[in-house]
Every structure is written in C-alpha cells, then in structure tokens.
Amino acid sequence: MYTDERLCSIALTQCNGIGHIGAKRLIEAAGSACDVFARRNDLPRLLPGLHASTLQALDNPSAFRRAEQELEFVEKNHLRCLTLKDEAYPSRLLECEDAPTVLFFKGNVDLNRRHIVSMVGTRQATDYGKQFCDTFVRELSALCPDVIIVSGLAYGIDIHLHRAALANHLPTIGVLAHGLDRIYPYVHRKTAVDMLADGGLLTEYLTGTNPDRFNFVGRNRIVAGMSDATVVVESGSKGGSLITAELASGYNRESSAVPGRIGDACSTGCNELIRRNKAALIQSAADFVEAMGWQERAKGKHPEPVQGNLFPELSEEEEAVVRILVREGDTHINILSVQSNIPVHRLSAMLFELEMKGVVRPLVGGMYRQLLRKSMK
C-alpha cells in the first residue's frame, strides 16, 4: 500500500467525480490521503451517506500511475508538492471548503507569512491603473515590508503588480492556471523567473494541463483564498477580477476596489463593487493598511513581553492561544490554528470566549489581537 502522502494526494485528484470538496471531506474523515485509499472499505462508516460511485472512483490504478509521473517531475525539477496535511500548505486556504487537494510550488517564500494581499485587475490596464499599482506597492513596501503580493501573472494589471513588487523588493507569487512545465503567457517568462528569487509560482494543476478558460476560475479561488484581502485595481463590468472579489467575499476575506471615473470602461466593475458594498473604496496603501489593522506591526511596534503565569483564569488551550498572540502579534485565525494545533471550528468558538473575557479583539480579515497585559505577581 502507498504511504507517500504526496503521491496519494495527487492520485486523489485523478479520481473522476470526487472533486476538491469531496477529496477534502474524504481526507478529513480518513485522516490522510493515504488512509483514504488504505481504508477505502471503511469510508462508508467514517463518512455516512458516501455514494457508492466514490468508492468505485477510488479503485483506479491509472490514477497512481499518473501521480507517479507527476511526482517524478516534481522531484526532478526541485518543486515543492504541498498536501492538505503539510505544515507549509497555505493555512488560509485550509479554511476554504474547496481548497486544492495538492499544490505545486516553485519559489522561496513562506506561504503562511503574516500579511498576504491579492491584487488583480483587467488585462486592458490603463495608465491610471498602472500608476496606482506603482504608487500603492511603493507605499505598501514602506508601511508593511513583510507583506506578500499575490496575482495571476496575466496581461495588464497582474503582471504590472508583479513587476512593481519586484522593483520595491516585496516578494510576489503568481498563481497559474496550468502546470509548472510552462509559463503562460510566454512573454512573462523573464518576470516569472525573477519572481523565483523573491516569491514564486504556485498552481494546483498537473503538468500537461492547458491554460483553458475554466482553469482560470479555479486559479482565482486560490488567489482569493490564500490571502487576507483582495484588491481590485481596474475591472470592466465582467471579468476574472470580479469573480476573484466575489470568491474573497465568500471566504469571508476583505475586498477593496480602486474607484475610477464614471464612464471609464476599465473602472465600471470597481465602481459597481463599491456601489453594491461588495468592496471597500481604497485610495492608497495607507487606507488599506489602516483598514486591515496592520499599522502597529508595520510601524515595528511589538507587544509588551508578558511574564510568568499569564492568565490563571484561562484554560490551558486558551492560554496557549494567548501566548501565540503575545509572541507573534496580530495573527490570522488559520495561523493560530496551525500553531496551536486546534481545529479552526473549535478555535473560532474559543476566540469568541476570549473576546468576551476582554483578552483578545477580532480585526478585519480574520486577524486577532491580544489585549490584556498582566505581569507576574
């Protein structure tokens, strides 16, 4: 029986009819992708209501042959293959019901860094949009130098953002709608290579996957899900940027949009997002940092050290969470979940109790701040 979680995770993506949501539920029920296959006969008991067609789909030797080919490519090209059980897997994505079963990454940046923002926009970028990108990224690099900028490596706003990030020494990640055996569009290859030194390329797609239209919607959910917030710089009345903003809203992430002049085709989508209260109006990096509650960390302020037995009235698990907030500062709930080893659904209730006790305060974007200071008596 196979024992490589990477191999089994890739194989699971090749089992027809299961999908991302189904695969995530199977892994949660069985304990791992390896156990999904090893305990196939136990799955109906572990996951009541499981359809017989799912068990049939798992009986698929060709899925493992394809997975072995992909893993060979991964190892030959020194890629990272991240499964749902991998600590390096983007923790924010784990909160999403349709999180990718496996991710392939080429680069050198921590996908769980404290501050991550996705920025997207139209392929027909105007000078107005490009200027905003340059100014915003330059100001953001000064206000919040530990931030990662995520985009889609597409024409227009996306590629301009990646290049602005590189110019201002901010790591930037391009999320692809195809495998890592190619770069699309090819004219962005040099920028993509430059990003490997400070950022990287991320995808859920196996080699040989074409950048077909429907893959871009799947790509957009990763862009929205792996970030604290999504900023739409320019968008027409339809397009992938609006889809990304909608996905971010569905994931309970913050969405912002850059307003434009009435009647400008490239600002129609942004203005509509703002009008419908689907996105906050944003005019500068300072606006964004303040709205996200990142200003204290950006200014280099750190929580005061807390000594001794912090909160004797708290449970052991609650105190562990508070200690993480004391040590790390403002922290996303997903990162708290990973570091405390407490499931998100249980941690959410615990954080509410801590809020009621006046120990923590929720911020926008799923972030939490520790409030209470006590010294050892």
Quick: pLDDT tens for 71-127.
999 999 999 999 999 999 999 999 899 999 999 999 999 999 989 999 999 999 999
Confidence of residue 374 (pLDDT cuts 50, 70, 90): very low
Tokens in use for 147? 């931030």
Domain 316-370 indexed as CATH 3.80.10.10: no
pLDDT at 312: 56
Percentage of residues of the chain with pLDDT beyond 70: 93
Kind plus residue range of the DSSP H or E element containing 254: strand 254-257
Is the pLDDT at 328 greater than 50, yes or no?
A: yes
What are the contacts of 191-196 at 24+ separation with CB within 8 A?
A: 191/153, 191/159, 191/162, 191/163, 191/166, 192/153, 194/166, 195/107, 195/162, 195/166, 196/106, 196/107, 196/108
> CA distances (Å), 75 to each of 7, 78, 106, 134, 328, in order?
12, 5, 11, 37, 34
pLDDT at 192: 97
Q: For residues 330 and 350, what is the distance between their CA atoms, to the nearest angstrom?
A: 16
DSSP of 330-376: SEEHHHHHHHHT--HHHHHHHHHHHHHTTSEEE-GGGEEEE------
Classified as helix, coil or strand, 186 is helix
Kind plus residue range of the DSSP H or E element containing 158: helix 157-167
Percentage of residues of the chain with pLDDT beyond 90: 74
Which of 22-26, 251-255, 344-348 tops mean pLDDT?
22-26
Q: What is the mean pLDDT of residues 12-19?
A: 95
Tokens in use for 285? 């990096």
pLDDT at 308: 43
Is the pLDDT at 145 greater than 80, yes or no?
A: yes
Residues in the chain: 377
Is the pLDDT at 173 greater than 70, yes or no?
A: yes
| Top-confidence residue, 365 or 253 | 253
| CB-based contacts of 165, cutoff 8 Å, min separation 6 | 137, 149, 171, 172, 199
Confidence of residue 352 (pLDDT cuts 50, 70, 90): confident
pLDDT at 176: 98
Q: For residues 101 and 30, what is the distance between their CA atoms, to the nearest angstrom?
A: 14
Report which DSSP code applies to 59. Answer: -
pLDDT at 372: 63
Task: Report the amino acid identity of residue 220.
Answer: N
Q: What interhelical angle do 127-143 and 157-167 show, nearest 10?
A: 40
Confidence of residue 375 (pLDDT cuts 50, 70, 90): very low
Q: What is the mean pLDDT of residues 169-194?
A: 97
Is the pLDDT at 296 greater than 60, yes or no?
A: no
pLDDT at 309: 47
Is the pLDDT at 300 greater than 70, yes or no?
A: no
Domain 115-296 indexed as CATH 4.10.490.10: no
Report which DSSP code applies to 173. Answer: E
Report which DSSP code applies to 304. Answer: P
Q: For residues 319 and 30, what is the distance between their CA atoms, to the nearest angstrom?
A: 30
DSSP of 192-242: HHHHHHSEEEEESPPTT----HHHHHHHHHHHHHTSSEEEE----SSSHHH
